[in-house]
């Protein structure tokens, strides 16, 4: 799960081109690039904005679900009417997998649908997942922005120094997982 998410995260245009974005902002600040040239150079960042947000969120959604599963939490929603009260509790806080036995949950009572990213970003879930506060704030903002795109009359990209700093921080968070994935793939080949 985490490896797939990492591939998506690292495949985001803005993650791959952070240095280029920073150089563009530097040129703009120094007056070395016209507004038209700057707009043209920013076009790919604007074009990939939504898909990049989705790619970044895929990593964090998969990461959080992997952490929850490693802590023996249920990540799938409940499908049966009988389990509706448990489903309501699950939307507010994690449910330990021992409920499968305690509540005699049958496989047909479990949905293919998993809990959403917004749910996993709430405080009770974060007590288990433990994303660093700065990373959590950035991911919440990206998730919120991604969800609001459906309601915006137009998309106006806002890329600045804080965007670059935020994305570099997310990249720092993801990097140790990249190293672990590489090591694990090496270990599998031996």
Question: Are 126 and 43 members of one domain?
Answer: yes
Question: Are 36 and 109 members of one domain?
Answer: no
pLDDT (0 to 100) of residue 1:
84
Question: Are 183 and 131 members of one domain?
Answer: yes
Which of 28, 31, 50, 53 shows the shortest CA–CA distance to 40?
A: 28
Conformation bin of residue 122: beta by default, left when phi > 0, alpha when psi is -120 to 50: beta
Question: Are 52 and 93 members of one domain?
Answer: no
Return averaged pLDDT per consecutive 10 residues of the chain, 190 residues in all: 91 96 94 94 92 94 96 95 94 92 90 96 98 97 76 52 94 89 68
Question: Are 85 and 176 members of one domain?
Answer: no
Question: Are 22 and 37 members of one domain?
Answer: yes
Question: Are 109 and 122 members of one domain?
Answer: no
Question: Are 62 and 141 members of one domain?
Answer: yes
Which of 180, 145, 188, 134 shows the shortest CA–CA distance to 14?
A: 145
Number of domains making up the chain: 2
Domain interval for residue 101: 76-114
pLDDT (0 to 100) of residue 153:
37
pLDDT (0 to 100) of residue 152:
41
Question: Are 179 and 101 members of one domain?
Answer: no
- Domain final position from 114, 140, 169: 114
Residue 109 DSSP code: G
How many angstroms separate the Cα of 154 from the Cα of each of 55, 146, 157? 21, 13, 10
Question: Are 48 and 12 members of one domain?
Answer: yes
pTM: 0.88
Question: Are 139 and 87 members of one domain?
Answer: no
Question: Are 108 and 124 members of one domain?
Answer: no
């Amino acid at each position: 799960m985490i490896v797939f998410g990492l591939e998506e995260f690292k495949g985001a245009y803005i993650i791959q081109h952070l240095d280029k974005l920073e150089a563009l902002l530097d040129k703009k600040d120094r007056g070395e690039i016209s507004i038209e040239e700057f707009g043209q150079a920013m076009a790919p960042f604007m074009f990939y904005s939504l898909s990049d947000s989705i790619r970044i969120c895929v990593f964090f959604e998969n990461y959080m679900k992997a952490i929850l599963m490693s802590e023996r939490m249920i990540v799938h929603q409940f499908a049966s009417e009988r389990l509706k009260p448990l489903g309501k509790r699950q939307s507010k806080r994690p449910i330990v997998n021992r409920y499968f036995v305690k509540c005699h949950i049958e496989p047909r009572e479990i949905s293919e649908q998993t809990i959403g990213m917004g749910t996993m970003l709430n405080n009770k879930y974060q007590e288990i997942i433990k994303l660093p506060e700065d990373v959590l704030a950035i991911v919440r903002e990206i998730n919120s922005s991604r969800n609001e795109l459906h309601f915006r009359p137009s998309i106006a990209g806002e890329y600045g120094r804080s965007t670059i700093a935020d994305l570099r921080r997310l990249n720092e968070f993801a990097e140790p997982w990249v190293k672990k994935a590489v090591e694990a793939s090496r270990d599998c080949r031996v």
